Homo-oligomer: A and B are copies of this chain.
């Protein structure tokens, strides 16, 4: 022990992320490391910025990848945009809405929750009513694609309501970016964060973010210092900003950014709309096949995410034993459910490179065989 290199098994990743990664992206990842202030690297960072603008459908100048996972991207949005005492509405319909609320508390914000049932989208009526009750709200935060349930909320409508009340909008797109339609500028999103390891099919560890000019104005006019030095966007902007005047802030995760660059190139080559369509098509195949096996989808069709499918564990089937069997005998990972759904449901991801016919076929056959075996 503690002498041998680690050779991971070759899994098919159909959980809630990380998702399967294309060999091109893994190759890019392992190219020789260069200095983070090397002119060649600065040029590549600039391309990553352009490619992220494409993926987010935004012209926002401040579009970059936070050098840490999605949870840090979430925190970057809150610590920069919320000052102590400010009133923030968080729409909660799953684990990641709860995490947003936790962030508001830790920034010293005044938290107002708009709560909906898990497996339901954010209610526009409740949001509207809460905003009328709290006219001094400064920001509205919500999750586009709730990774804990596979529910999609109507971000366009939510932002429209928030804007009517002069609020900044903060949106979690960790599981949506690259998988379903998302238009940052058109929908009036002020701060958005995502993750590298979901529908972008890049390695985990980076969080793409984008800030509107409204958000940047808010950050620049803060009365208090951002509580996190590492996530302070006034400093990070100078690092990712003007090529000529690059200011050292931290050491960027050089190789992970090679991988993100490659994953984004592949998305651009396929085309964003085409990628959205592919996710929808693969979801339809999965839905048809699992329904044929008698498995129930827990989210209504109109709010269902194609890239993350919450299904009920069939009666009499042991959650852990079933997932372990898939992992051991088919090298197939599907996700456990979390929070109140733990033990009652599974989450099947069809994200990025994993959203393909061979994965759906493997999943359907493995489910069929394993269910039959366990029912004998």
Give chain B residues whose Cβ lies under 8 Å from the Cβ of A68.
67-69, 72, 230
Is the C-beta of A30 less than 8 angstroms from some C-beta in chain B? Answer: yes
Interface-forming stretch among A132-140, A178-186, A197-205, A311-319?
Answer: A197-205
B204 touches A252 (CB 8 A): yes
Is the C-beta of A28 less than 8 angstroms from some C-beta in chain B? Answer: yes
Is the C-beta of A262 less than 8 angstroms from some C-beta in chain B? Answer: yes
Q: How far is the CA of A327 from the CA of B42 in the complex (A)?
A: 14
Closest to A75 in B: B230
- Interface bits A326-344 vs B (CB < 8 Å: 1, else 0): 0100000100101000000
Q: How far is the CA of A194 from the CA of B28 in the complex (A)?
A: 26
From the candidates B2, B41, B230, B252, name the one contacting A8 in the complex (CB within 8 A): B41
What's the nearest-Cβ distance from chain B to residue A222, in Å? 13
Interface-forming stretch among A15-23, A208-216, A293-301?
Answer: A15-23
Q: How far is the CA of A247 from the CA of B338 in the complex (A)?
A: 10
Q: How far is the CA of A265 from the CA of B38 in the complex (A)?
A: 29
A6 touches B36 (CB 8 A): no
Q: How far is the CA of A230 from the CA of B228 in the complex (A)?
A: 11
Q: How far is the CA of A99 from the CA of B21 in the complex (A)?
A: 36
Q: How far is the CA of A249 from the CA of B71 in the complex (A)?
A: 9
Q: Which positions 212-258 of chain A face chain B at CB distance < 8 Å?
A: 225-230, 248-256, 258
From the candidates B7, B227, B228, B253, name the one contacting A31 in the complex (CB within 8 A): B7
Closest to A261 in B: B6
A50 touches B253 (CB 8 A): no
- Interface bits A258-269 vs B (CB < 8 Å: 1, else 0): 100110010011
What's the nearest-Cβ distance from chain B to residue A329, in Å? 14
Is the C-beta of A375 less than 8 angstroms from some C-beta in chain B? Answer: no
Is the C-beta of A34 less than 8 angstroms from some C-beta in chain B? Answer: yes
B47 touches A35 (CB 8 A): no
Is the C-beta of A129 less than 8 angstroms from some C-beta in chain B? Answer: no
Q: How far is the CA of A221 from the CA of B179 in the complex (A)?
A: 43
A205 touches B67 (CB 8 A): yes
B225 touches A106 (CB 8 A): yes
Q: How far is the CA of A336 from the CA of B36 in the complex (A)?
A: 13
What's the nearest-Cβ distance from chain B to residue A49, in Å? 11
Q: How far is the CA of A81 from the CA of B8 in the complex (A)?
A: 36
Q: How far is the CA of A68 from the CA of B249 in the complex (A)?
A: 13
Give chain B residues whose Cβ lies under 8 Å from the Cβ of A70.
250-251
Q: Which positions 1-19 of chain A face chain B at CB distance < 8 Å?
A: 1-11, 13, 15, 17-18
Is the C-beta of A44 less than 8 angstroms from some C-beta in chain B? Answer: yes
Q: How far is the CA of A118 from the CA of B68 in the complex (A)?
A: 31
B255 touches A225 (CB 8 A): no
B47 touches A1 (CB 8 A): yes
Is the C-beta of A161 less than 8 angstroms from some C-beta in chain B? Answer: no
From the candidates B4, B29, B35, B269, name the one contacting A15 in the complex (CB within 8 A): B35
From the candidates B11, B29, B38, B253, name the one contacting A204 in the complex (CB within 8 A): B253
Q: How far is the CA of A40 from the CA of B8 in the complex (A)?
A: 7
A13 touches B29 (CB 8 A): no
B253 touches A256 (CB 8 A): yes
Q: How far is the CA of A2 from the CA of B51 in the complex (A)?
A: 7
Is the C-beta of A284 less than 8 angstroms from some C-beta in chain B? Answer: no
From the candidates B18, B51, B226, name the one contacting A106 in the complex (CB within 8 A): B226
Q: How far is the CA of A225 from the CA of B205 in the complex (A)?
A: 25
Is the C-beta of A26 less than 8 angstroms from some C-beta in chain B? Answer: yes
Q: How far is the CA of A268 from the CA of B31 in the complex (A)?
A: 25
Give chain B residues whose Cβ lies under 8 Å from the Cβ of A32.
8-11, 21, 26
Is the C-beta of A166 less than 8 angstroms from some C-beta in chain B? Answer: no
